[in-house]
Structure 1
């Protein structure tokens, strides 16, 4: 790796240099003479919001809970509507506030609107639009976190090889932002940079560069005066990653700045195999739960317990929900994750900001309605209480077999089980079900009634109710083992005819005869859901993606094992030979 060293001629960033840079950029922004002086020395403008911000950073950040991200909007490249969302409106923020959020993070990508050469001027119209959106949010009594977003990988990541130019552009950007928002109320927070990464740098160099960006940001904002003297500033780890070493680095930076108005930020998207459903991560299991618990314990111990508030700037699952594709994360397992995260964050004293990419995920920006109100109800409930869950949200009853009793393990989460309901009908304990400690068992008699004529699919949806929180829904599903059929196609288009028979696809293993892994995800036999394979339930097929097929060895059969949520496993062989692909169902004796 190339050795990147800090240039010996690098200038210090004292107040004199910063003041000069501020004045020159005020001229760029069209503020000169007495206007520029008024901008730098004038009294603060009247507060846009009526929120009384606590004086202590820890209390202020606590008052921001819960938080929401205006994702894929002002951070879209190159323009606000480029990634499918409509322009932000004040009505949007009114909706967010009415839904119980107390703050919003407004990610902004500046690259398409900033000159790439000195003096790195930001387009005045874009800066005005950002200010309009920020002011709308504050006018709806929301705290706002404003940042530098995808610039992190577009040009800031090149700081290791183009140090002086990148740093000068970064400094110029924050100087202009600071000048524009200098007199905004303290409900506005600045965040240094989103998920920064550094190309072609050693670990030590990355640590130094991260510290340099955070420190430069801090010095520029504080030197700009006005309300920026005491504004809450949010400093990040590399990549927004909550690993211990990177949080220790950030703690060192914050401690050295001797500023009581600083906030640490990281992101959390769950245990990776679970978050994208790869490597067999189909359940919110012990590994996934421990990953979350450990991450929040680190946040608490590294920062919160030492008096530094933590703003979790983004959380969610990396590929869920996505209403344009089949659910790669099983719904009930996702609900467990959100329930657990809300509780754990409260215990750790961490303020959480839901990452919302927009119309096809959580809040539909056109209708201002939640795409999935029941999902949002679980997220919202987690802000204040715990809810009981179970080992799964489905009970599978085989159509081809005699009906027998089925059991689930209850995850009480500090609650008490109270009752089980089928719609408006309360089931009878001892007759329809039994509960022993944490074991809920549905009797054969109840399942016979609930499955009715035993059509494939969901026959009934029960509700397990607990002493507090939301009820846990349990689908009673009639199924039989899915049946796959032979098929032919090409590496660009291949589907397996599939009779699902009420079952749902969980994951796919792919191996060769020698035991090695097949497919583009070579480090595990369990390939990534929707990236290597995808169920098409309406058309009765399983799609193998071109990326998966083109990664197969030519002429060598790969054995695929499809795992279904009922527990059924079905094998299939697929062979790519040049421009053709042949699939053969495997009949096991």
Structure 2
């Protein structure tokens, strides 16, 4: 077996503290560093390409999880107990890398921060650390990452009834999240909420206009609070690109004049909407509901007219006014659906969005469109279609220098091979990247485990030493 090594000469003076930023060779070459580029949010969203959700994973929640663990587990809840509760395997770096290899440029990570939460809405350090780990893997794979407060047990639904307490909880949680991730680069985006901002108990969209202004005003107030908290949290957050949840993330409701984007001194915001239309195909599986009849096929002329009309609505209402749009979720089930229609629907939604400069992010859950066990798209024809839309082409392997991989077990991070991991290893790795040194145990320096030694390994080693 041989080990691939790429040694890149970095024409930059790196401070002794190793806290400075590093030079870029392309738009994604320093994804894991702490720099904020002077680019607009529109440019950043365009650079994302197309994306995928890590759905039904870190946002999995429910009191029953603790009950099951008490009865069948060890009685001590861990982040992995929640992570796997809705059917996901424990996420690995290989699963995340597979998303990048399949052509995705951004991963949206829904999070239920209330899992393991402490008194005073103190977010669990263990849960926060697990989110950090997955975010790091995403950015190390040269993809953008979006994190949010997702459904999170549904407490957001209580805003109209208990506004002060819910706002306190919202502000307290975002204060902690923003502080925890404040030093991340602009490859990390914060999203204000999922799709719960908008309450039928206040305004019934199918029953007139009573309460409509009040419901919209509360949505706008929550989104403004989000921006204010993040902008005042220090680090890179005053310039971080933010994603603002539309009214129930619906196309038509977010385009309503009553919905307002927050005031933002940085002017770095995009709006988030979701696309599940027609619901009989995109939401229901094989059983009817009171509000829709299930459909197994999609692709009529009327279906395409509806799709294009909706996408034009967002383009005219936001893109043409200089406000970027991320479709944070779009998708459909596979149960009860004709496979060709599933492929046609997902391809058509992605194309219609992408051609109008909207960033489409596929909703994918365990057993869904992305096969987490094999780290590849379940439907390779769909993958081909999506790659054609985004223009993604798999990178060809470079011609590297090769050395024989050593046989003994290697301590990750022990670059100088002295049996311990400390600042001397950081210096050795820096010298190697500057072309002024050699590494005997190459596997010890490959902290990203991507068979390439580069700037990302230096960044992860620095973080490892800081945490230690």
Q: TM-score, normalised by structure 2?
A: 0.66
What does 1:155-554 correspond to in 2, within 5 Å? Answer: 155-196=155-196, 197-198=198-199, 200-201=201-202, 202-243=211-252, 245-249=253-257, 252-254=260-262, 256-257=263-264, 259-275=266-282, 276=284, 279=293, 281=295, 282-317=297-332, 320-321=333-334, 327-358=335-366, 360-384=367-391
Say if 2:216 and 2:258, in contact at 8 Å, map to a contact too: no
State the Cα RMSD in Å.
2.5
Q: C-alpha separation between the residues in 2 aligned to 1:198 and 1:296? A: 24
1:103 CA displacement: 1.1
Say if 1:250 and 1:264, in contact at 8 Å, map to a contact too: no
Q: Secondary structure at the match of 1:112?
A: coil
Alignment equivalent of 1:67, drawn from 41, 51, 66: 51
* Residue in 1 that maps onto 2:397: none
> May I ask how many residue pairs the two structures share in their alignment?
331
User: Which is helix-richer, 1 or 2?
Assistant: 2
Say if 1:44 and 1:226, in contact at 8 Å, map to a contact too: no
What does 1:3-82 correspond to in 2, within 5 Å? Answer: 49=32, 55-78=39-62, 79-82=82-85
Q: C-alpha separation between the residues in 2 aligned to 1:328 and 1:72? A: 20
Q: Secondary structure at the match of 2:83?
A: coil
Q: Please, which runs of 5 or more residues in structure 2 have no aligned partner?
A: 1-17, 23-29, 63-81, 203-210, 393-468
1:68 CA displacement: 1.0
Q: C-alpha separation between the residues in 1 aligned to 2:294 and 2:162? A: 41
* Residue in 2 that maps onto 1:148: 149
1:251 CA displacement: 5.8
Q: C-alpha separation between the residues in 2 aligned to 1:128 and 1:48? A: 19
User: Which is strand-richer, 1 or 2?
Assistant: 1
Say if 1:342 and 1:383, in contact at 8 Å, map to a contact too: no
1:373 CA displacement: 2.1
1:180 CA displacement: 0.3
Q: C-alpha separation between the residues in 1 aligned to 2:343 and 2:38? A: 33
Change (3 A) 1:81 1:99: same
Q: C-alpha separation between the residues in 2 aligned to 1:157 and 1:249? A: 23
Change (3 A) 1:301 1:251: farther
Q: C-alpha separation between the residues in 1 aligned to 2:258 and 2:47? A: 23
Q: C-alpha separation between the residues in 2 aligned to 1:193 and 1:328? A: 30
Say if 1:74 and 1:109, in contact at 8 Å, map to a contact too: yes
How big is each residue's C-alpha offset from its partner over 1:25-70, in whole Å with a ceiling of 9 and x where there is no partner? xxxxxxxxxxxxxxxxx97777652698561110111000111111
Q: Secondary structure at the match of 1:160?
A: coil
1:141 CA displacement: 0.9
What does 1:558-569 correspond to in 2, within 5 Å? Answer: none
1:336 CA displacement: 2.3
What does 1:109-128 correspond to in 2, within 5 Å? Answer: 109-115=112-118, 119-128=120-129
Q: C-alpha separation between the residues in 1 aligned to 2:362 and 2:193? A: 18
1:207 CA displacement: 0.6
* Residue in 2 that maps onto 1:8: none
Q: Which has the larger radius of gyration?
A: 1
1:259 CA displacement: 4.0
Q: C-alpha separation between the residues in 2 aligned to 1:211 and 1:342? A: 28
1:288 CA displacement: 2.0
* Residue in 1 that maps onto 2:67: none
Q: C-alpha separation between the residues in 2 aligned to 1:168 and 1:371? A: 42
How big is each residue's C-alpha offset from its partner over 1:238-294, in whole Å with a ceiling of 9 and x where there is no partner? 221111x4333576224x445420011101022123323754744422332222111
Say if 1:268 and 1:316, in contact at 8 Å, map to a contact too: yes
How big is each residue's C-alpha offset from its partner over 1:299-318, in whole Å with a ceiling of 9 and x where there is no partner? 1111110111111101111x
1:331 CA displacement: 2.0
How big is each residue's C-alpha offset from its partner over 1:461-519, in whole Å with a ceiling of 9 and x where there is no partner? xxxxxxxxxxxxxxxxxxxxxxxxxxxxxxxxxxxxxxxxxxxxxxxxxxxxxxxxxxx
Change (3 A) 1:96 1:53: farther
The answer on 1:88 being equivalent to 2:53 is no
Q: Secondary structure at the match of 2:274?
A: strand
Q: Secondary structure at the match of 2:261?
A: helix
1:376 CA displacement: 2.8
* Residue in 1 that maps onto 2:138: 137
Could you list the runs of 4 or more consecutive aligned residues of structure 1 that deviate by over 6 angstroms after TM superposition?
Answer: 42-47
Say if 1:240 and 1:266, in contact at 8 Å, map to a contact too: yes
Q: C-alpha separation between the residues in 2 aligned to 1:274 and 1:136? A: 34
Say if 1:284 and 1:334, in contact at 8 Å, map to a contact too: no
Q: TM-score, normalised by structure 1?
A: 0.53
